Amino acid sequence: MKIIDIQEKTFPISSDIKNAYISFTKMDCSVVAIKTDVKINGENIIGYGFHSNGRYAVGELLKKRFIPRLKEASSKSLINDVGDNFSPEKIWKILMQNEKPGGHGERSTAVGTIDMAIWDIVSKIEQVPLYEHLAKKYGDGKFTNKIFVYAAGGYYYPGKDIPMLMDEMKSYLNMGFTTVKMKIGGAPLVEDLKRIESVLKLVGSGKNLCVDANGRFDLKTAIEYGKALEQYELKWFEEAGDPLDYHLNAELTKN
């Protein structure tokens, strides 16, 4: 049981949208395909991985550091103790060899992209969906194939007014979503409240609406928004301030 090829490709995923913090005009994304010699119905199992939008592609990190480490590792070192599948845990340790501790950043994107492809391989070899494998291996064995989902959108882009925002949200409801998430913080508070109230008319209740500031606010603005939003009883208010601003986040949990 071994890996016989690993490919990385960077794809542009640029668009005119922006959230409160960044524009996506130059965004791209790495996709990884890992081919194994394990065959099912005569076809080699290939695992695929990609990363979240919002962090840029990590092609050079993958090609220079992480893919070579995986290729150079002995086949045996990638396999679980029983010997019947690849071991995501052992592979993670191989990937993180010769990485200084601290400051993960781009490398966690690169390692996570490979990790996703490995888990894809593991579930394909088991011939069960990954959620079923995880439930059996780490949980109590029970699983469901129903899960809470929501449509994340409501980005800002040039010329987008409230009717256009409402059209976007209507399209999600038409797809069957009952909960939606929209960006805030890219406009002044007064305008954001108008945007929120318009969407509330569509989704019926704050329980069906989440907002996301993408880490833009300072403490004062975060609290200002929090107080202004209180009346709507929203499902959640996501990433008010910089995730690394521990002081801000500690203060917010008190408010």
Among the listed ranges 40-48, 93-101, 128-136, 140-148, the one in contact with a copy of itself (CB under 8 A) is 93-101
Residue 124 or 183: the one with the smaller Cβ distance to a copy of itself is 183
Kindly list the distances between the CA atom of residue 237 and the CA atoms of 114, 170, 251, in Å, as whole numbers in the listed order: 31, 21, 15
Q: What is the per-residue binding string for a copy of itself in 13-52, x denoting contact by CB under 8 A?
A: --------xxx-xx--------------------------
Contacts 24+ apart (CB under 8 A), 140-146: none
Interface with a copy of itself by CB under 8 A: which range of 101-109, 137-145, 177-185, 190-198?
101-109
The residue among 98 and 144 lying less far from a copy of itself, judged by its C-beta, is 98
The upper half-sphere exposure of residue 16, i.e. CA atoms within 13 Å in the direction of its Cβ, equals 4
Applying CB under 8 A, among 99, 168, 238, 251 the residue interacting with a copy of itself is: 99
92 lies in the binding site for a copy of itself (CB under 8 A): no
Q: Look at the alpha carbons of 12, 13, 18, 19 in this order and tell me if their dihedral is positive or negative.
A: negative
Q: Say whether residue 98 binds a copy of itself (CB under 8 A).
A: yes
Member of 64, 93, 207, 247 binding a copy of itself (CB under 8 A):
64
DSSP-derived secondary structure for 238-254 = E--B-TT-HHHHHHHHH
Does 158 interact with a copy of itself (rule: CB under 8 A)?
no
How many residues are recorded in the chain? 255
Q: Residue 122 in contact with residue 130, Cβ under 8 Å?
A: yes
Please give the size of the binding site for a copy of itself, defined by CB under 8 A.
Answer: 30
Instruction: Looking at residues 219 to 248 of the shown chain, list those that interact with a copy of itself (rule: CB under 8 A).
Output: 242-244
Give the residue with the Cβ less far from a copy of itself, 105 or 139: 105
State the binding string over 169-208 for a copy of itself (x if CB under 8 A, else -). ----------------------------------------
Q: What is the CA radius of gyration of the chain?
A: 22
Instruction: Tell me the C-alpha distance between 195 and 162, whole Å.
Output: 6
Q: Which helix (H) or strand (E) segment is 71 a member of?
A: helix 67-72
The pairing of strands 28-40 and 209-212 is unpaired
Q: Where does this chain touch a copy of itself (CB under 8 A) — which range of 102-110, 119-127, 162-170, 222-230?
A: 102-110
Residues near 112 by beta carbon (within 8 Å), at least 6 away in sequence? 49, 51
Nearer to a copy of itself, 64 or 207 (CB): 64
Going by C-alpha positions, the residue among 196, 189, 207 that lies closest to residue 169 is 196
Q: Which residues bind a copy of itself (CB under 8 A)?
A: 21-23, 25-26, 54-56, 59-61, 64-65, 97-108, 214-215, 242-244
